[in-house]
Amino acid sequence: MSLRLPGEIVVDHVLPTLRVELATELADYGLTQREIADELGVTQAAVSTYLSGDASTTESIAAHPRTRSTVERVAEGLATGEMNGYDALAAVLDLVQTLEDRGPVCEIHETEMPALQGLSCDLCIRGRDEAVSTEQAALASVRKAARVLSTTIGVAQFVPNVGSNVGTALPDAAEPTDVAAIPGRIYTVDDRVEVPANPEFGASNHVATIVLAAADVDPGVRGAVNLTTDEALLAAARDRGVDPLAFDAEYDDRGRRLRDRFADRGAVPRVVFHRGAFGIEPITYVLGADAADAARFAAGLVTDVVGSDP
């Protein structure tokens, strides 16, 4: 990642463009290159380059309506003496703020720093947003979980026919849209685990149901991954001191029934499972603090089982 500050975008794109545009406007008012250089605080040679057409500009900055109106107003003010340097600087600073706040500076910043896609103005203009940071952490957790599953030997044989998924709920999550997961689920191709897309909120109702039920009973449990129900995996969990909790496979009111089962247990266990029903494949859910934590525990169980195979 290339770390870029918004001020660098202003220096590299906005100021060069404004100088060229202002130099051109001031020249139209009859100012000499020397006079233009004095007004802009640059050398006469630089002004000569601006007026020759050889200087590079950024089209999105030059074409912005506020740029055009500001350049015309400042050039007229400087040429007629109605503006001094203070007034001109105030007008330019106002323009820069406009270009930064969801304007072309924002677009350039996101292009040069893709990690800021859709977020740069919230960060740069309004400061760090804790809600956005929390969402990013949840998405990052799901990405880490998917990476763990796709790189752990043996996981593919425990991916159910309907596919696996991983999810992390936001703190105080109340709806499936508050749970980040992989759209389209995780599947296998030639004994490899394939992750089809980047995580999104609301991408898995099934995992969300499990996570929301668990978090409602124990707020410290906000992550889950599902695998096929396999006796060897359940035995591996018991060997690690976990007593897997069985629940009814039916989908109707599953969230409430899970909450009741967790309440009966008096805690949310690391592993919950069902043995399937008509049209419902047997599934085991491994729970954790977040998706990455759940995936690491699930990968450990798989490694225990695969490592014990002859």
Q: Which residues are CB-contacts of 181 (< 8 A; sequence separation ≥ 6)?
A: 142, 165, 166, 167, 168, 199, 200, 202, 203, 204, 207, 208, 291
Q: Is 279 exposed, middle or buried (0-12, 13-18, 19+ CB in 10 A)?
A: exposed
C-beta separation of 196 from 149 below 8 A: no
Mean of per-residue pLDDT scores for the chain = 89
C-beta separation of 245 from 272 below 8 A: yes
Give domain limits for the chain.
6-124, 131-308
SS3 308: helix
Token couple for 185 = 């689920």
Angle made by CA atoms 67, 70, 72, in degrees to the nearest 5: 105
Superfamily of domain covering 131-308: Class II aldolase/adducin N-terminal domain (3.40.225.10)
Q: What is the pLDDT of residues 259-309, one digit of tens each?
A: 999 999 999 999 999 999 999 999 999 999 999 999 999 999 999 999 754
Mean pLDDT value across residues 42-59:
91
Angle made by CA atoms 269, 270, 271, in degrees to the nearest 5: 90
Q: Which residues are CB-contacts of 208 (< 8 A; sequence separation ≥ 6)?
A: 167, 169, 175, 176, 178, 179, 181, 202
What gap in Å lies between CA 62 and CA 182, rounded to an integer?
41
Full-model pTM: 0.63
pLDDT at 246 over 80: yes
Strand 223-228 to strand 283-288: parallel, antiparallel, or no bridges (unpaired)?
antiparallel
SS3 224: strand
What gap in Å lies between CA 36 and CA 62, rounded to an integer?
19
Output the pLDDT for position 5.
Answer: 79
Q: What is the CA radius of gyration of the chain?
A: 29
Other CB atoms within 10 Å distance of the CB of residue 133 = 12
Output the pLDDT for position 213.
Answer: 96
Write the DSSP assignment of 30-49 as a string of letters: T--HHHHHHHHTS-HHHHHH
In this prediction, residue 154 has a pLDDT band, given cuts at 50, 70 and 90, of very high
C-beta separation of 224 from 291 below 8 A: yes
pLDDT at 243 over 50: yes
Token couple for 251 = 């989908």
Token couple for 83 = 């503006």
In this prediction, residue 127 has a pLDDT band, given cuts at 50, 70 and 90, of low
pLDDT at 29 over 50: yes
Share of the chain above pLDDT 90, in %: 70
Output the pLDDT for position 131.
Answer: 66
Mean pLDDT value across residues 188-217:
92
Output the pLDDT for position 310.
Answer: 41
Q: Which of 96-100, 122-126, 167-171, 269-273 comes out lowest in average pLDDT?
A: 122-126
